[in-house]
Amino acid sequence: MFADRAVIYIRSGKGGDGHVSFRREKYVPNGGPDGGDGGKGGDVIFVVDEGLNTLTDFRNIRKYRAQDGENGNKRNCRGKDGEDIIIRVPEGTVIKEADSGKVITDMSGENRRVVLLKGGKGGNGNQHYATSTMQVPKYAQPGQPAQELNLLLELKVIADVGLVGFPNVGKSTFLARVTNARPKIANYHFTTLNPNLGVVDLEDAKGFVIADIPGLIEGASEGVGLGYEFLRHIERTKVIIHIVDAAGTEGRDPIQDIYAIEHELKAYNPEIAARPQVIAANKMDMIYEDSEDIIQKLKDEFEPRGIEVYPISAISGQGVRELLYRVNNMLEQLPEEVLIFEQEYFPELMQDAGEPYSVSYDEEAEEYVVEGPRIEKMLGYTNIDSEKGFTFFQNFLKENGILEELEKLGIQEGDTVRMYGLSFDYYK
Distances (CA, A) of 10 to 65, 89, 115, 205, 349: 6, 14, 12, 45, 17
pLDDT (0 to 100) of residue 192: 43
315 contact partners, CB below 8 Å, separation of at least 6: 170, 173, 283, 285
87: helix, strand or coil: strand
Q: Can you give the pLDDT at residue 183? A: 43
Residues 122, 79 contacting (CB under 8 angstroms): yes
Q: Quickly state the pLDDT bin for 374 (edges 50, 70, 90).
A: low
Q: Please state, in angstroms and as integers, the Cα–Cα distance from residue 188 to each residue in 175, 246, 254, 337, 401, following that order.
A: 17, 18, 19, 36, 56
In terms of pLDDT, which residue wins out, 84 or 416? 84
The predicted-structure confidence for 309-335, as pLDDT tens digits, reads as follows 999 888 888 888 898 999 999 988 887
Beta strands in 90-201, from DSSP E residues, in sequence order: 93-97, 103-107, 113-117, 148-155, 161-164, 196-200
Residue 30 pLDDT greater than 70, yes or no: no
Judge whether residue 291 has pLDDT over 80.
no
Q: How far apart are CA 166 and CA 174, in angstroms?
A: 14
Give the pLDDT of residue 187: 39
Q: Would the pLDDT of 353 be above 60?
A: no
**Cβ-based neighbour number of residue 68 at 10 Å:** 25
Contacts of residue 206, Cβ cutoff 8 Å, sequence gap at least 6: 328, 332
8 A C-beta contact, residue 147 and residue 291: no
The terminus-to-terminus CA distance of the chain in angstroms comes to 49
Q: If pLDDT is split at 50, 70 and 90, which confidence band does 224 have?
A: very low
Which residue would you say has higher pLDDT here, 298 or 216? 298
Give the integer Cα–Cα distance in Å for 192 and 39: 50
Predicted confidence (pLDDT) at residue 114 exceeds the cutoff of 90 = yes
Work out the number of other CB atoms within 10 angstroms of the CB of residue 347: 21
Task: Label residue 240 by pLDDT band (50, 70, 90).
Answer: very high
Q: On the CB side of 420, how many CA atoms lie within 13 Å of its CA?
A: 12
Average pLDDT, the chain: 80
Name the amino acid, one letter, at 49. Answer: D
Angle in degrees, CA 324, 328, 332, rounded to 5: 170
CA distance 404 to 258: 49
pLDDT in tens, 245-281: 888 777 778 888 889 888 888 888 888 888 899 999 8
Contact assessment for residue 12 and residue 120, using Cβ atoms and an 8 Å cutoff? yes
Q: What is the DSSP letter of 25?
A: B
Beta strands in 91-224 (DSSP E): 93-97, 103-107, 113-117, 148-155, 161-164, 196-200, 208-212
* Summary count for the chain: helices (H), strands (E): 11, 18
pLDDT band at 409 (very low <50, low <70, confident <90, very high): confident
Regarding pTM above 0.85, the answer is: no
Q: What is the pLDDT of residue 69?
A: 94
| Best mean pLDDT range from 72-76, 191-195, 399-403 | 72-76
Residue 147 CB contacts under 8 Å (≥ 6 apart), including other chains: 11, 12, 117, 118, 120, 347, 351
